[in-house]
Amino acid sequence: MVSVMNNQNILVVEDEEEIRELVRYNLTKAGYAVTGAASGEEALRAIGSTLPDLVVLDLMLPGMDGLSVCKIVKSDPRTRDVPIVMLTAKGEESDIVAGLELGADDYLTKPFSPRVLLARMRAVLRRKADGAETAAAPVQIHNLVIHPGRHEVLVDGVPVEMTSTEFRVLHSLARRPGWVLTRRQISDAVHGENYPVTERSIDVQIVALRKKLGTAGDYIETVRGVGYRFKE
């Protein structure tokens, strides 16, 4: 019998029983407590009942698909900070970007290596823990206030709703005003080093941020041929 070393609960959402059990076996062996769900609807019920520490989410599910599940989880204040690792046979850039835009933290395409899945999960959980430890100090620039600990952004005192990925992109820029960050540096700050992200996905996040921030979106400057910076 394998004991749970860290008491972290992982929800595996996968309709193919063989794959679900393969993931469950490897995660249990690594010391995690694992719960399985075979559909999007079942996953939402499980998340609503017991908040997991991380969700491994297949995109191609019967009924409600994985992107819809991700959108619901990330739009609910109670669950939006739950990390999501997408596990999918859909490797097209549009599917990956769509998941990341909704707030997913990482992805793997099938067929996959259980060891790589474990490594990706541990990296996501570590980033979440590291972020919690350093999240106390708010950042205020002009009329924009960012409260990392509360996952809150205020413009002129009015809250601005955004995904967890958008929040991390904004925070990575705002805490270094005047510094030019390349798209790779932004990706590394948000997702960790060597994350397989396209430049387009960073640009999409910036466009979304500017739109949501209104006039405060002008604080994010494009440095042509290099990346982005936040106005001092």
Structural domains for the chain: 9-132 (3.40.50.2300), 135-230 (1.10.10.10)
- Give the pLDDT confidence score for residue 70 in this predicted structure: 93
157-187 burial, b if ≥16 CB within 10 A, otherwise e? eeebebbbbbbbbbbbbbbbeeeebebebbb
pLDDT beyond 90 at 40: yes
pLDDT beyond 60 at 110: yes
**E strand or H helix that includes residue 208:** helix 199-213
pLDDT band, very low/low/confident/very high, at 198 (cuts 50, 70, 90): low
User: Residue 74's closest CA among 139, 157, 146, 168?
Assistant: 168
Q: Are 145 and 139 in contact (CB under 8 A)?
A: yes
Position 227, amino acid: G
Task: Summarize pLDDT for 123-169 with one digit per residue, the tens.
Answer: 888 877 665 555 557 888 889 999 887 889 999 999 999 888 888 89
Q: Which of 20-24, 181-185, 190-194 ranks highest by mean pLDDT?
A: 20-24
Q: Are 125 and 83 in contact (CB under 8 A)?
A: yes
User: Residue 177's closest CA among 140, 148, 209, 151?
Assistant: 140
pLDDT beyond 50 at 3: no
- Give the pLDDT confidence score for residue 17 in this predicted structure: 94
Average pLDDT, the chain: 85
Q: Between residues 85 and 196, which one has the greater pLDDT?
A: 85
Q: Are 206 and 165 in contact (CB under 8 A)?
A: no
Identify the three-state secondary structure at position 118. Answer: helix
CA distances from 147 to 34, 126, 141, 222 (A): 32, 20, 12, 24
46 vs 82: CA distance, rounded Å = 13
40 vs 213: CA distance, rounded Å = 32
Q: Are 206 and 199 in contact (CB under 8 A)?
A: no
Q: Which residues contact 228 (CB under 8 A, 6 or more apart)?
A: 173, 180, 181, 183, 186, 206, 220, 221, 222
Task: Summarize pLDDT for 168-183 with one digit per residue, the tens.
Answer: 899 989 888 888 888 8
Pairing, β 106-109 against β 144-147: unpaired
pLDDT band, very low/low/confident/very high, at 1 (cuts 50, 70, 90): very low
For residues 55-77, give the mean pLDDT: 92
Q: Model-level pTM?
A: 0.60
38 vs 19: CA distance, rounded Å = 11
